[in-house]
A and B are shown apart, each in its own frame.
Chain A
Amino acid sequence: MSFLTLEQVTVRYESDPVVVALDDVSIEVEAGEVVAVVGPSGCGKSTMLRAVAGLEPVGSGRILLDGQDLAGVPTHHRDLGLMFQDHVLFPHLSVADNIGFGLRMKNQATSEQSARVLELLDLVGLSGFADRTVDQLSGGEAQRVALARAVAPSPRLLMLDEPLGSLDRLLREQLTGDLRRLIDQLGVTALHVTHDQVEAFALADRVVVMCDGRVAQVGSPSELWHQPASVFVAEFLGHPNLWVRGDDTLLVPVDAVHLDHSGSRSAVVDLVEFREGRFRVSARSDDDHPGDTVVFETDAACVVGQNIRFGFDAQQTQTLGRTVRQPKMS
């Protein structure tokens, strides 16, 4: 049996019972695994986290953690760590007292507490910050303190809610690496919620894609990328070349498209971006299948408005099911 199991969990909001926030969701997380839950805002990913934390009442279904049914277990007895987007540190406590909060709740001996706090400060690279007040921290530092606070009591499960969402891009990329290394070092099981698939892919062993309160697909980052189960997943992960053919949709990977003077198709360039050493060209087809968006990468400079001919490797394409999404049941 898995370490964390969600069995057909359904959550309705108290304020608006018609809206199904989580619709019959089943997920399994193995011990020591890092699972990311991604999806656009409103897809139910944060609700899932809150349900596991006991902050949102579960309508039906079961949540099991390490074999224990969590129904009726109040949040403060669940033994979890939770890290929010904009750190949410206790403003009236010092850095050390923030990190030691969970240890204090467990009534750990003071000496053990301070030893653990120092250990964690060291781990997140903030030795010497113990006595600072929270408002003296930069965004990245605050986020590290929030992580240290979440993991200090050695929770059974670490939950991250858009942990890096409020940071600027450079800092986010740097912290993503740090975060993954820390999680590995601690050997903690983690459930990570984000709307950013890049962050999810960088951090997670497995990724759950959610849509409208349901699970759209579960798999490793590479499985998801190479075999998206639906147009929604493909779109969400950022595949640009999705060509509608009748009821089906053809997915053509960016690197399967190439400029070719004798290519079978033609298009007009409408955007050229220089990205990481190459040109990323976006064009719109004007042949038998007008209106297809074609994105590809090339070393040759293209000009907006230019007519191009291109070909694509048919073997790399896949056909995705109907474009019409299944209507949601409630």
Chain B
Amino acid sequence: MTSAPAAPRRSTTAGGLVSLVFILVMVVWPLVAVFQRSLVNVGPDRVLSILGRDSVRQVLLFTTGQAVASVILTLLVGLPIAHALARYNFRGRSAVRALAVVPFVLPTVVVATAFSALFRRVGVDLDDTLTAILAAHVFFNVAVVIRIVGGFWARLDGRQVAAARVLGASPWRAFREVTLRQLLPVTVGASLLIFLFSFTSYGVILILGGADTSTIETEIRRYAIFRQEFDVAAVLAMVQIVVVSLLAWASSVFQRRFGAATSIRRPVAGVPLRGFRRRLHLGLVLALVLLVVGSPLLALVEQSLRVGTSGRGPTGVSQASYGFGNYMALTDRAPVLPVSPAEALLTSVGFALLAALLASVIGLLAGRAAVRGGRLGRLLEFVALIPLGVSAVTLGFGYLLGFTVFDLRRSIWLIPVAHAVIGLPFVLAAVVPALRSVDDRLRQVAATLGASPKAVRRIVEWPLIRQALVSGAGFAAAVSIGEFGATSFLARSDTAFTAPLAVFRLLSRPGAVLRGQALALSVIIGLLVAVLAAVLERRRGDSVTLL
């Protein structure tokens, strides 16, 4: 009748239940609201007739088409880069790899602003075109190819190719039958992920696509916010949820099935950079990285520093002068914004801190219960994945539908909570492996030495998972600072006006002053997020969050 393990069990269960309730209310309920609205209130017949509308069909088609195009283009650009980075040994390789991955953590509004700045700098009029959207998607997702495919490529056992060559395979045949064969599954997995990101792209489409381009995400916004046709928006959101969860599921299956199965070793040293052909090859690839990833970022910074009246037309480059004027202007009240850009930035930082805190608490409670197993643990492990299958826009819309009581949906607090939900997978991805790696016998030894369950957590468990938790919380904060999709649905009062919303609003109105502020604000948001991500990556070593 020993009851010793009961005490920590009870508190773990209680914590697990708290996190379960949170996820049920903040994630599952909004989704239920979307389904209820479209299946019960609208009814299957009208759902079909809505989906049959020409305008809706066109949106579905365009959304899918641009996502497929994004995947193909990203692979065309990303695979050569991944190959060269995996193959050659050169000074600065890790720096290039880090640079290539930067876009992935950047907020969508920042990226969209960067491309708009690039077009202006180069003097091409690509605003409001499909080309602009695809370019931005490639920019974002090249990181996925480099991380997933390139990371795998670099660790492929080179001796396999050697073995194939010795057995009589030509270099090309060895590459095809040994290397390519093993790369295929991870490439498919990466493609699924890229498709998912492009399919749910929102900020990029809104800013770079212009008024005539619409995807499911932007249509949900248009129907819900401007036309107040919640029925149509709910049907679109339902389609989105189904597609996204299927894709998320498929990509996780792919990653799990094939990510680790093929023979992987520690990073292979790589080929030394000798001879003209190799140098030329690498040079071309680095130029490609600079073109795809570097140029929008450089253009963003350059344009943000440009002051004066010259920034009006594509040809007005000649009178340029540089300075920090746009940055100084951030504290000025812009007529189109309810608050100054600087105040919006402060709001964002505040939300980010709250969201990170909330996500860490919930993540820790859920993670503990999940690691312990049992029915509650398994349930939590499943429901905690749900946020991955929901786009930010559907979540925001779900809140509008689901939290009508007491007019909760107008509450400013809903924004940091939504951000916490979006950041929760990052926290779990960091905390759960850390919790798993704490040997249960460490807790047992501590208990026999007189440590109470509380003391065990404080003295033994906490120091071992602290770093992972901080890292997960940091990523949650980074996501929150740049979050645009859910926020655009929920920000109803001036106090809730975040920096990404400010960038969007500033960019969507004409005027050099507003544009300058948008550029400067984008640079600051981007820097904040990139520095945060870089610091966290360094601390964590080589681990990859959710990628």
Contact = CB atoms under 8 A, between A and B. Distances in A.
Contact of A81 (B7, B449, B452, B460): B449
A102 B3 contact: no
B442 A88 contact: yes
Q: Which of B448, B455, B464 has the most CB of A within 10 A?
A: B448
A76 B464 contact: no
A153 B451 CA distance: 12
A155 B448 CA distance: 9
A70 B450 contact: no
B211 interface: no
A76 B445 contact: no
Given A88-B445, A92-B464, A76 B450 contact: yes
Contacts, number: 93
A78 B3 CA distance: 12
B4 A73 contact: yes
B489 to A, nearest CB: 43
A37 B441 CA distance: 20
A149 B449 contact: yes
Interface string A239-270: 00000000000000000000000000000000
A72 B2 contact: yes
A150 B450 CA distance: 11
B450 A55 contact: no
B8 to A, nearest CB: 10
B2 A73 contact: yes
B423 to A, nearest CB: 26
Contacts of A314: none
A75 B1 contact: no
Contact of B447 (A56, A57, A76, A153): A76
Contact of A75 (B439, B441, B447, B463): B447
Contact of A82 (B2, B5, B445): B445
A74 B444 contact: no
B126 interface: no
Q: Which of B445, B447, B463 has the most CB of A within 10 A?
A: B445
How many chain A residues sit at the interface, stated as a range, is 20 to 34
A53 B4 CA distance: 9
A75 B4 contact: yes
Q: Which of B3, B446, B447 has the most CB of A within 10 A?
A: B447
Contacts of A105: 446, 449-451, 455
A182 B382 CA distance: 50
Contacts of A51: 2
B451 A74 contact: no
Contact of B446 (A78, A79, A92, A101): A101
A106 interface: yes
Would you call the interface of chain B mostly helix, strand, loop, or mixed? helix
Nearest to A107: B450
A84 interface: yes
Contact of A74 (B4, B439, B449): B4
B7 A74 contact: yes
A57 B7 CA distance: 13
Nearest to B3: A72
Contacts of A92: 463-464
A55 B9 CA distance: 12
Interface string B457-479: 00110011000000000000000
A57 B1 contact: yes
Given A105-B449, A105-B450, A153-B449, A57 B5 contact: yes
Interface string A81-121: 11010001011100000000110011000000000000000
Given A90-B460, A92-B463, A55 B444 contact: yes
Contacts of A81: 448-449
Contacts of A79: 450
Interface string B1-21: 111110100000000000000
A81 B450 CA distance: 9
Contacts of B448: 53, 75-76, 78, 80-82, 150, 155, 159
A91 B452 CA distance: 19
A19 interface: no
B113 to A, nearest CB: 43
Contacts of A80: 448
A120 to B, nearest CB: 13
Interface in A39-81: 51, 53-58, 70-81
B464 A91 contact: yes
Nearest to A71: B1
A76 B2 contact: no
B2 A70 contact: yes
A111 to B, nearest CB: 19
A75 to B, nearest CB: 4
B4 A55 contact: yes
A80 B453 CA distance: 16
A273 B262 CA distance: 44
Contacts of B2: 51, 54, 56-58, 70-73
Contacts of B456: 76
A53 B7 CA distance: 15
A109 to B, nearest CB: 16
A88 B439 contact: yes
Contacts of A88: 439, 441-442, 445
Interface string B370-390: 000000000000000000000
Interface string B427-455: 00000000000010110111111111101
Contacts of A153: 449-450
Contacts of B450: 76-77, 79, 102, 105-106, 153
CB-based closest 4 A-B pairs: A102-B449, A105-B450, A54-B4, A75-B447
26 contacts: A53-B448, A54-B4, A54-B5, A57-B1, A57-B2, A57-B4, A71-B2, A72-B1, A73-B2, A73-B4, A74-B452, A74-B453, A75-B5, A76-B4, A76-B448, A76-B450, A76-B456, A78-B448, A81-B448, A82-B445, A82-B449, A88-B445, A101-B459, A105-B446, A149-B449, A150-B449
Interface of B: 1-5, 7, 439, 441-442, 444-453, 455-456, 459-460, 463-464
